[in-house]
Amino acid sequence: MEKYKLLKDQLKMLDLSAINDIFAEKAEEYRRAGLDYIEYLGDLVNHQIKKRIERSINYRLRTARFPWIKTYQEYDFDYQEEFNKEQYLSLMNMEFIKTKENVILLGPPGVGKTHLAISLGVVACEKRIRTLFISASDLIEEMKVAKVTKGLAEYIEKMNRYPLLIIDELGYMPLTEEDANLFFQLISRKYENSSIIITTNQRFKDWGKVFQDDVIAAAILDRLLHHSYIFTITGKSFRLKGKSRELKSQKLAKEVGQN
């Protein structure tokens, strides 16, 4: 009993909680099966590694600030027939992050741009890649605060340290000249240093209106698109999907009633 307690205390000191939870049960299991202690030790270490990886993934998912968790398996690719599913799924190996490339998801509201962006972010977290999700409006607001408090350079550097930064809903809210300048500084710092995913409802030719300046819009686009994957979603809104079915059901019921 003393040896058992001593071992538990030692495992606790080494922060091997996963092994601590199962070593006694596993020891009895291996003893009965007549298996050797090398296998027993290997099994315990493998269990500890798995638990540590799980904790790391869960931590990254929590700190990524996703508004909700979405996976690509939940996305209805058949509903968006013209979407390049094969190219999108090819990004799941996360090579685009290693090569510091960007992803632009462009389309009208309701077509699933944010879903697709989060799905890539979730896979990045599962591969233990530091990821941050933030709306364009929140990003600009945080940069403004950082500028006022003389911490803008530190804020931009912090954002650059994320291998993957997801900026959602760019172009939904009008930007001022100051906003555009702040955004340009961030994009310039991350250019060829780390990856960005952007969702937007604005066509590239309209970015001059978004940023209130054709020159700065061109400079931002030049850096974003130089190494990037562009997905244009032209299909119908998912929000109308259920409504369409409801209307069809009502029409069918009406026709049956008339007959």
Please give the CATH number for the structural domain made up of 72-240: 3.40.50.300
Read out DSSP for 35-64? --HHHHHHHHHHHHHHHHHHHHHHHHHHHT
* Residue scoring higher pLDDT (10 or 56): 56
Q: What is the mean pLDDT of residues 238-249?
A: 58
Beta strands 131-135 and 164-170, pairing class: parallel
Candidate from 68-72, 106-110, 174-178, 251-255 with smallest mean pLDDT = 251-255
pLDDT grade, residue 147 (50/70/90)? very high
Number of neighbouring beta carbons within 10 Å of residue 94: 17
DSSP structure class, residue 150: T
Query: Residue 151: what are its φ and ψ, rounded to 5°?
Result: -120, 25
Determine the Cα–Cα distance for residues 39 and 203; give it in Å rounded to an integer.
Answer: 59
Top pLDDT among 49 and 172 is at 172
Q: What global pTM score does this model have? A: 0.79
Contact 233, 197 (CB under 8 A): no
Tell me the domain boundaries of the chain. Answer: 2-60, 72-240
pLDDT at 102: 98
Q: What is the pLDDT of residues 203-234, one digit of tens each?
A: 999 999 999 999 999 999 999 999 999 999 98
Q: Over the stretch 11-54, which tens digit does the pLDDT of each residue have?
A: 676 677 877 787 777 777 777 777 666 466 657 767 676 777 78
